[in-house]
Structure 1
Amino acid sequence: MIGDEQRLRELTAEWNSIDRSQVTAWESRVAALSQEAAAIRAAGRWRTGKRTLMEVLGDHRLETRLVTCLAWVLRPEEHHGLGDQVVRGFFEKLGLPFDEAARVRVTVEESRYTADGVQTRADLVVRVGRSCVLVEAKFNAKQHGDQCERLAELWAPEAATLVFLARDGHERDAPAGWSTLTWRDIAGLMAPLPPGSSAGARDLWETLDGGGLAMPDEKTKFYLRHWSQIQEWASLRGEAVKEIGAAAQRGAEGVDPAILAAAESEWFTVGSSQTFELTRSSWRLGAFRATIALQWTEAGLLVDGDSTWPYVGVRIESANRFTKDRLASRLTERLRTPAVQLGWTHSQLSQGWLWWRFVTPVGSDEDLESLAEGCRTALEDGWRELSGPIDEVFAAETTGGDEGDVGSGPG
């Protein structure tokens, strides 16, 4: 028996040694990857968000703006610096002769009328010498009615080549007799961009190309280099989230019994949000209800954003829009001073939180016992400092008192 106990101690010591060694290796690797990512950022190759000015302005999905830009690059004399590269390539792709000596004429929203007076607009018409190309452009919209038939009929006297310019190559809207091109085909006509091409031409090219020919995404390359290690670390988040939730729960369950005796307490779950509330029956008027609450959202824990850690604050429920609710406004103002003294300086009335703050571990993120203690003391301090002022506001409401009945300092 003694031998078994000794062997168990030896195995436990060996396991602890292996575990610490693995953690040390992980920490070293994390530091190395952090330095690698920092170097990529410093070199300006770690990019996020929108890639082009057209995307920033929201023009990259607007059909009329894209057609205007297409007309611009089709005109050889414009300041894009592409010359006739795009229009020449456009005609060659359609199997049409391109007369380099002929004038290139490009019109947008060209109108004609049917015999019964119905106006029909062509998105784009390109004429070079005796050749005419009519473009019906689509991005988010679909073809409707007999639009393409009317276009074909009205431009038949010029023997126009009909082009259906679609968002991708899988469109089925193009009727018989129409050639289908895509916006990425247009980007292909612009490549390679000549050395003298303008910034606007490059911006349009990158917008239409959608990233296929743009700069390599260093973030993706970084992930592909290290995906196995990153995946291993990511799998640890689930356990960490459970431990944070357990610490917050221990904190709530450790609240001073005297406070629990004076308050009504309740746990409830909505989606991935866990909430513990302290309240009184008198803190309810009709559909309006106030509580001092501790809450955390499992999906948001340890993720940059609004739910990185548990948070404590004054929470309300109301049938009205919070920002328009008179009682919510009175509570917000009455609690301002004592709440700020507690460090509850955040306010998101539109989300039902009057005053709140995050509860975070003290010293280091791994000290979850300090997180549990922080949750407990935050709830207790909140109750001791704010329950009196909340009582005053509800008492003034129920007795018909005006705003002069409600003080402006700590209760």
Structure 2
Amino acid sequence: MTIEEFGRKPLSIPPIDDPQVRFYLDHWHAIETWAALRRDADEALQDRLLDLVDVLADDARTIGDDIDIHTDTSDRRKPRIAISRRSWRDAAGRVPAATVIEWQKPLIDRDGELQLYVGLRVGERRRRDQQVGAQLSGLAAAFRQRLGRPWEREDEAFPVWRWVTVPGTVIDEIALLEDARAGAWDCWNVTAGAIDDILAH
């Protein structure tokens, strides 16, 4: 049998019938073209998050003169916006705790999930004020009870925290920013007084 004759016989292999895989195979070029926009969308969302600094600073002016809002990009993988009091700073200008809006890079992960959260941060383990961190850890359950759902259990650097999310399947960046803003001030209102008390003693 020649190659030409062999090639005339129909294949006995059935086509892929998994509906999701079939959809991808039938539309792979369009899907991959759209997926390539993830990086651009990620960068645009991060720019909008950084725009929150000015919004939070305006909010802070109505609350009190001692509130400091700043970006912290010392960990390039986890940029954050921090809310603290100037009076909390030590001689080196560091604060032992702050309310933060923090995200991981990339903000939109490979599964299309947002890696954005808000909470009370006590710093990296090697640079943490251990005494302040321990006292805030002891208050974590009370903070969470006051904040209610969906605030999460204590994490290594966060006595209290929660995800910033948007409902549904569309990323509404304005709703996302509003949720981050509201979560940050909720956290601040519950935790700042405790930090004042800890640092006063």
Q: After TM superposition, is the score higher than 0.5? A: yes
Q: Which of 242, 245, 264 in structure 1 is aligned with 2:46?
A: 245
Deviation at 1:291, TM superposition (A): 0.9
Q: Which of 103, 110, 125 in structure 2 is aligned with 1:296?
A: 103
Q: Which of 364, 389, 410 in structure 1 is aligned with 2:194?
A: 389
Deviation at 1:232, TM superposition (A): 0.7
Cα distance change on mapping 1:245 and 1:389 into 2, 3 Å: same
Tell me, in whole angstroms, the C-alpha distance in 1 between the residues paired with 2:63 and 2:169. 29
User: Equivalent residues in 2 for 1:35-50 (5 A)?
Assistant: 35-37=19-21
Whether 1:236 aligns to 2:37 is yes
- SS of residue matched to 1:296: strand
Tell me, in whole angstroms, the C-alpha distance in 2 between the residues paired with 1:227 and 1:260. 54
User: Which residue pairs with 2:122 in the alignment?
Assistant: 316
The runs of 5 or more residues in structure 2 that have no matched partner are 1-17
8 Å CA contact retained: 2:84, 2:95: no
Larger radius of gyration: 1
Whether 1:332 aligns to 2:137 is yes
User: Equivalent residues in 2 for 1:110-125 (5 A)?
Assistant: none
Deviation at 1:248, TM superposition (A): 2.5
Deviation at 1:35, TM superposition (A): 3.9
User: Which residue pairs with 1:267 in the alignment?
Assistant: 71
Deviation at 1:237, TM superposition (A): 0.6
Cα distance change on mapping 1:245 and 1:346 into 2, 3 Å: farther
Deviation at 1:258, TM superposition (A): 2.1
- SS of residue matched to 2:176: helix
Deviation at 1:267, TM superposition (A): 0.9
User: Equivalent residues in 2 for 1:11-410 (5 A)?
Assistant: 35-37=19-21, 227-255=28-56, 256=59, 257-259=61-63, 261-269=65-73, 270-284=75-89, 289-304=96-111, 308-317=114-123, 320=126, 325-342=130-147, 343-349=150-156, 352-396=157-201
Deviation at 1:353, TM superposition (A): 2.2
Deviation at 1:288, TM superposition (A): 6.9
Cα distance change on mapping 1:319 and 1:234 into 2, 3 Å: closer
Deviation at 1:235, TM superposition (A): 0.9
Residue type at the aligned position of 1:292: T
Deviation at 1:294, TM superposition (A): 0.7
The runs of 5 or more residues in structure 1 that have no matched partner are 1-33, 40-221, 397-411
Deviation at 1:340, TM superposition (A): 4.1
Tell me, in whole angstroms, the C-alpha distance in 1 between the residues paired with 2:80 and 2:108. 14
Superimposed CA distance per residue, residues 276-334 of structure 1 (whole angstroms, 9 cap, x where no aligned partner): 101124435687721111111232424449x7232111112256486x93431211122
Cα distance change on mapping 1:238 and 1:344 into 2, 3 Å: same
RMSD (CA atoms): 3.4
Residue type at the aligned position of 2:115: W
Cα distance change on mapping 1:292 and 1:391 into 2, 3 Å: same
Identical positions, percent: 26
